[in-house]
A and B are shown apart, each in its own frame.
Chain A
Amino acid sequence: MDAIKKLQQSQWFGVGFLVVLTVLCWAIFKVLRPETFGSPEQIMTYLQSALIYAVGGCGMYFIVTQGLWDFSIGSVLVLSCLLAIGCSQMFGIVGLVVAPILCGVLLGFFNGLAYTVLRIPSLIVTVGLSLIYESFSVFAANWAGTRLDAQFNMFGAYPWNVILALIAFFICGFILKYTKVGTYINAIGTNELTAKNMGVNVDKYKFIAFILCAGFVGIMAVLYISYGTAQTPMTGMLSQSLNFTPLMGAFFGLAFKKYGHPVVAIVIGELIISMLFAGFVALGMPTTINNVVTGATLLAVVTLTVKRVKGAVVK
């Protein structure tokens, strides 16, 4: 018993558990569909999309750790992608990288500002703002077009996509471990009032988290548009669907936080999810019900990771 307990407390238990889960997931689909699923090249494709979403997941992690929500990242992603298309035409590769990140940081700033100044629940304020950002995406598309010039899609393939993603993961891990932000967002997430008592400027760190979140979504946009090479503007809350996959990764990070490697958990979590999707497609699932899988998976991930306390007030 003691040995098991010790193993469970080990730092690498969580990562090990996730790796086993990944292999298991792969094995199940491989057995069911040996021809159409899980060849080495296909795994590289799964990994590629996992990397993209994991960058967004890293951003979301700063938000969900504090018990907040950001339902604007889908619209931030769309707008950033469109600005990347536009700016790549004007400034080349520099525009492609800098524009979406700046856009993300700026929109994150607005999210944080609206949340801290208006003092309304984060999910409401970000849904409201995403309506506004979505309408901007139409203007951006009118200006920039919706197709990324083929000469700029270097981040859409190996090795540059991996390099950029790794830089993003490194930054995320660094912020979590080597700055006050990492400690404080954890403290705020556990008990906001105690954290305040310890001198943590709660509003400031929530604000920073919103900026970081949308900033990482900006980086994600670089990878996303380079991989997909085209992005149409989205209105009517359609961009909300893009929130889901990064959110799932963030929840994996949250669930395995206590083992000390949230970024690794986010990446592996996203890999599992992208394998799930590919697996269902291989099983013959029509693409029209992609949204069914997205919704159901997020619901399952949240249900499995949420801590239930008798009598807790949940709205």
Chain B
Amino acid sequence: MSDKLLLHAEKIDKKFGPTHAVKEVSLDFYAGEIHALIGENGSGKSTFTNMLTGILPIGGGTFTLDGEQIAPKNQVDGNHHGVAVIVQELGTLNGLTVAENLFLGDEDQFMKYGIKNTAAMNKKAQELLDGFGLSKIRATAPIENYNFEERKIIEILKSTWFDPKILVVDETTTALSQDGREKLFEVMRDVRAKGHCVIFISHDMAEVLKMSDRISILRDGDYITTINAADVDEDKLKTLMVGREMGDNYYRTDYPNYATEPQGEIAIMMNNVSVPGSLDDVSLQLHKGEILGIGGLSECGMHEVGKALFGASYDRTGTVELGDGTPINSINEAINHSIAYASKDRDNESLLINDTIQDNITLPSMRDMGFILKQKDLKAFAKKYADIMSTKMVGVDQYVSALSGGNKQKVVLARWLGKQSNILLLDSPTRGIDIGVKADIYALLAEMRNQGKAILIISEEIMELIGMCDRILVMKDGKINGQLFRSPDLTEQDIIAKMI
């Protein structure tokens, strides 16, 4: 790392509606460093880099790269300014050749009088591939001929062949095998050796400590601090990430005295359930009066657990049944047997986003209201449960699309509260929700648990699992990789160890 300042971020700011995702973050990045950016989910790190790379418009503040202020309009514009990004999801497009994908949006170098020199483009692409040790990949072949890992590596090449001054690696490693990771690390070291800078986002603390020179920490959109990687260990990083004030008082404070075996009767269970691409022979039981947590990396298949229990998975094998043996094979059966589900994809799956609060709350309960429905009753019903959840709204005629994330989730919960559901399957219940509403939801869940309801929380936020759950199942690669019981001594480290 040299002393040369490469990129200066000045009071970068971003709001999504009522959510303040990044709060006036100022950061310096130096030439020849790998600079890790860490924080919990929702801490704003990806939002920050997305503004730098042109994926999101800048909400406020300035980026100054090499003395020049930049505000990329899109990813390719970012590339032209010397900023490149490798994202978590697949960024290559089917229907295009490898070469077309490599140069998508950047064809002008091959254009003459509006005609694209396709031969030259293919030739250059093949040269780049060969130089990258990928000579088995043909530039002219359609990209769908290659597998996920190969496509990810083609993306790495797409983002780095033009020697970007800043390379953002946004949680790419979770999608890669060991070989792929080594390849990526090699590229990152290369960038550093050329006197450029890598911004490295990862949840894997060991990886962060191994690869980076300096580490900056974000928490709830705030910049916390920057430290030298040599001066810290994983525990120190954890403490910095979670902070102290995200206090225990939001969570449950009771520690019931069963340490090894859940009590209460089984509410619902899945036996040897597999779903292609996400679950591999999973069995679990959820008991009455229990909050069961499921944790793991985002792609470990845990989100499918909720869908499978709710009867919503496609191509499921194995059985899902209630404690008394009643099978659950469709959403309808699930709802009729008092099962509720809140999806991680709140806007598309939990809610009818372009519909009123009233319709959203009453929809599953209509079947209990008799054959003839009166608008007045429906309205009163919706209002009652929206008010119990203290939803901030103009009226139940208001469209859900106008609500904040927290209030949307309140509408979802109000729906199932109204349905008197006894089994709650909640996927990422507090995702993108501000602290105040979070506390409300936690209190509600604790109360429901005491009423004897069975609650499943699927969450990417480890602290939430530790704080709320009686029992935590950790998943990895579609299988359950370990079980942990509620204890004041339980640490994030215990869970992470089973995730990776």
Which residues on A are within 8 Å of B, measured CB to CB? 9, 65, 177-180, 183, 186-187, 189-191, 194-200, 257-258, 260, 310-311
Contacts and interface: CB of A to CB of B under 8 A. Distances in A.
Contact of A198 (B76, B144, B315): B76
Interface of B: 54-55, 73-77, 91, 93-96, 100, 104-107, 111, 114-118, 141-142, 144-145, 314-315
Nearest to B55: A197
A308 to B, nearest CB: 11
A87 to B, nearest CB: 29
A258 B95 contact: yes
B93 A199 contact: no
Nearest to A310: B314
A199 B73 contact: yes
B141 A186 contact: no
Given A179-B116, A194-B91, A199-B76, A186 B96 contact: yes
A58 to B, nearest CB: 17
B74 A190 contact: no
Given A198-B105, A199-B105, A186 B73 contact: no
Contact of B74 (A178, A180, A197, A310): A197
A110 B146 CA distance: 40
Contact of A195 (B93, B106, B114, B118): B93
A198 B75 contact: yes
A195 B105 CA distance: 8
Contacts of B314: 310-311
A190 B145 contact: no
**Binding site of A, secondary structure by majority: helix, strand, loop or mixed?**
helix
B141 A183 contact: no
Given A198-B105, A199-B76, A200-B105, A177 B118 contact: yes
A191 B93 contact: yes
Contacts of A179: 114-116
A293 B263 CA distance: 66
A68 B134 CA distance: 36
B73 A190 contact: no
10 contacts: A177-B118, A178-B116, A180-B111, A183-B116, A186-B96, A195-B104, A197-B55, A199-B75, A258-B95, A311-B314
Contacts of A194: 91, 93
Contacts of B141: 9
Contacts of A180: 107, 111, 116
Given A197-B75, A199-B74, A258-B144, A190 B315 contact: no
Given A186-B95, A187-B104, A260 B142 contact: yes
Contacts of A260: 142
Given A179-B115, A258-B144, 11 more contacts: A179-B114, A183-B96, A187-B96, A190-B93, A194-B91, A194-B93, A195-B93, A199-B75, A199-B105, A199-B106, A258-B95
A274 B100 CA distance: 35
Contacts of B118: 177-178
Contacts of A258: 95, 142, 144
A200 B142 CA distance: 20
- Which one of A189, A197, A257 has the highest number of Cβ atoms from chain B below 10 Å of its Cβ? A197
Contacts of B55: 197
